Copies of this chain bind each other. A is one copy, B any other.
Amino acid sequence: MSDFSFVGVPTPMIDGPAKVTGNLKYTGDLKLPGMLHARFVLSAYAHAGLSGVDASAALALPGVQRVLTADDLPALTPSSRARLMLARERVIFVGQPIAVVLADTPAAAADGAELVEVEYEPLNAVTSIDEALAEGAPLVWPTGIPSGAEDEAAHGADTGGESEAEDEEISNIAGKTHMETGDIQAAFSEADVVVERTFETPMVHQSSIETQGWVAQPNPITGGVTMWGSIQSPFGVRLDVADTLGVPESDVTVYGMPVGGGFGAKFGLYEPLTALIAATVGRPVSLILTRGEELLTTNPAPALRIFGKLGFRRDGTLIAMQSDVTADTGIYPSGLGGFAAMQFASFYRCQNLLLESTGVVTNKQSVGAYRAPTSPSAFMAVETLFDEAADKLGMDPVELRLKNAAREGDTAPDGGEFPPIGMIQTLEAAREHELWKNREESRKGGRGVGIAIGGWMGGLEPGAAVCKLNRDGVLQVQIGTADLSGTPTSFNLLAAEAYGVPPDKVRFVYSDTDSAPYGGGVGGSKTLYTLGNAVLRAAHDARQQTLAIAAEEFEVSTEDLEIVDGRVQVRGFPDRSIKLGEIAGKSMTFGGKYEPVQGQGRQAVTDRAPSFCAQIAEVEVDEETGDVNLVNLAVVQDVGRAINPMAVEGQMQGGAVQGVGWALYEEMRYDEDGQLLSGSWMDYAMPDAVQAAPIDTKIVEVPSVSGPYGARGVGEPPVIPTVAAIANAVAHATGVRLSQTPMTAPRVLEALQQR
């Protein structure tokens, strides 16, 4: 650590002051001349024919300018959720946009939307896996299921295995995956201990503080648009919007605005529709979802039913793993079920695997990515089964995991070999945590302590960065992605370290897709891991250019120069020095003889840096009510290198809090007609600060091969093991193993009563 001046120093977010004072402008703050405010008219039925839309009352309202229905837009076939247009003839989920009211003010648009009369002819709907798979079930897509979304690819969700489309017959099954290695039947026969269980986790909503929202300004000359939005992937949205409008992506410009939380939900949703609406009316259009709309018509995590089964030898060797995942993905297909089946078996050594999945469409809003997609569910399955097996084997749960944990050289889920990874070091560090060491004392006190680990392969994407030196001696760093996880502060530290100035002499620049170097969407825990390298290279390049100018000024070699206190000086001759700003000035002036300092860094890191997070939960279970009280939570994570420990701890805590939500509180609940029952934050329960319990974080640093200064992705892992750790803690306290989330009091009570 002492090798670094700035990397590793806990550093507050550089945009913190602007955020907490309200000076940072979000998408909803944008006002363009002539802008119309849009409000959807949303379907009240999960499945119905549309026999008429009467907008006359809405249009009579002062301020309402236009009401558009599908008939006003090109008849595009919506291939995926991110291409959903206004409903034509039929609605297939509650919350599906049927019409859009455009008005001079948000209030007029909202009032107008209330006045649009929609005539429905209600039809039977399927709102659960069982209904969807039942004989003679109503079909969500009677003429065939669209090819599906690739949105979640951005989160690193490889489905693995082959997709076997059901082309014999149209049904609600969107696809199946099957992956098998070794001889699973023989392995289970040989196993001394077999544990198995079916788990169910509901749709869970990302519920960022900032709702989704976009502004689109049409360009009548090119047919393209300029878009602003709360989006995780500006370059991805550019492509989606261009495709929808039928223009080259170069005629679409996307400004990634500050994002008030994304968590995977903001990889693209109504951008193409917003763009099309704006192009249709020829005016800028702002569409900012209300909280209710956010819950009703966006893209939560899928509901999963996971059958999991493990087989062990008596000595604890894992010899068989089976998962069979059925995913309820709402109206559109998704590869997430297959990914969950893979995740179940990704990080333990095992020769015999059978991993299967079935994707099912239902009359509910379709799904998207949510932080470590499907992994809280998949690891609930594998990690509680591990716990149960340890019980049966009479082994320490940590030792059982250590015995079977993946390590360098093992086969990774992507087929390659694991590089140096810290699964073992993370488990060992967790084992040393007081919370774990005192678990028997805790149980004696009526509590329970459980442990679990989660793994994440980490995403990859090429990207570039630019570093320019200004005349004030400031290094301006530019990358082309969004900010929703505090990475700019870490990039600042990287650039400062590599160039040789303090972080307050670095400025981070957000640019639009026209102006910015390419950068992928923010997701998959890949932003710092991949783009960090681009920033490092750009800063190094800028440093070399800076030194080259000074070398010419002083007539020395660049090797004889160093950057100290904002000056380039000749080593050993502090008197022979020149301010960085002066160097920039010589290259940024009329008649200057030096090229401007503009460092460039491009990267296409191709080796992943899997990262692991172990968590230890201590709970109290009220045997009379079933209420689970989370008393303590410890988060132990291998981050490779903590570039900014403050940001890393923030990610660890934030992920764990969301994990607590998965475990104990959050559920998108639908009634039998497909009506969302948890359609507001009054009904959709998220943990508050007290419910989240004290969270202790412990950073492990097993350097990655290719991350900047050894860093690994940090964002995803901490949400993964929380559900399992809490479930294992409940089992430790009560002997009861839960298989359904959220582990609400009624469910726990029922399990206790069946004990």
Closest to A32 in B: B31
Question: Do A221 and B472 touch across chains, with their CB atoms under 8 A apart?
Answer: no
- Given the interface pairs A250-B476, A471-B239, the reply to whether A221 lies near B516 with Cβ below 8 Å is no
Contact present for A590 and B221 (CB under 8 Å): no
The closest CB in chain B to the CB of A511 belongs to B515
Across-interface contacts of A29 in B (CB, < 8 A)? 33
Given contacts A23-B221, A515-B509, A593-B604, contact A462 B587 (CB under 8 A): yes
Interface of A (DSSP majority class): loop
On whether the beta carbons of A595 and B464 are closer than 8 Å, the reply is yes
Does A397 interact with chain B (Cβ within 8 Å)? no
In the bound assembly, the distance between CA atoms of A445 and B118 in angstroms comes to 83
1/0 per residue A217-239: CB within 8 Å of B?
A: 00111000000000000010001
Number of copies: 2
- Per the 8 Å Cβ criterion, residues 556-611 of A in contact with B are 587-596, 598, 600, 602-604, 606
Q: Is the CB of A594 within 8 A of B462?
A: yes
Chain B: which residue is nearest A472 at the CB level? B248
A595 x B600 contact (CB < 8 A): no
Mask: chain A, 20-48; 1 = CB below 8 Å from B; 0 = not: 01010000010111000000000000000
A514 x B478 contact (CB < 8 A): yes
Is A407 close to B, CB under 8 A?
no
By the criterion CB–CB under 8 Å, are A249 and B471 in contact? yes
Of the four ranges (under 10, 10 to 19, 20 to 34, 35 or more), the interface on chain A belongs to 35 or more
Complex: how many Å from CA A459 to CA B590? 8
Chain B residues with CB below 8 A from A590, complex form: 153-154, 156, 459-461, 520-521, 524
Question: Would you call A468 an interface residue if the criterion is a C-beta within 8 Å of the partner chain's C-beta atoms?
Answer: yes
A588 proximity list for chain B (CB < 8 A): 235, 462, 518, 520
Question: When the two chains form their complex, are residues B591 and A460 in contact, meaning their CB atoms are under 8 A apart?
Answer: yes
Return A257 CB to nearest CB of chain B, in Å: 14
Chain B hits for A473, CB < 8 A: 248
- Asked if A540 is at the interface (CB within 8 A of a chain B CB), the reply is no
**Pairwise interchain contact A474-B248, C-beta atoms closer than 8 A:** yes
Within 8 Å CB of A604, what residues of B? 587, 592-596
Task: Please report which residues of chain A, range 501-551, place their CB below 8 angstroms from some CB of chain B when the two chains form the complex.
Answer: 507, 509, 511-512, 514-518, 520-521, 524
Can you give 9 A-B contacts (C-beta < 8 A)? A248-B472, A251-B507, A460-B592, A462-B596, A468-B518, A478-B514, A515-B516, A524-B590, A595-B604
Closest 10 CB pairs between A and B? A248-B472, A595-B602, A515-B515, A518-B596, A250-B474, A511-B515, A509-B514, A595-B604, A462-B592, A250-B507
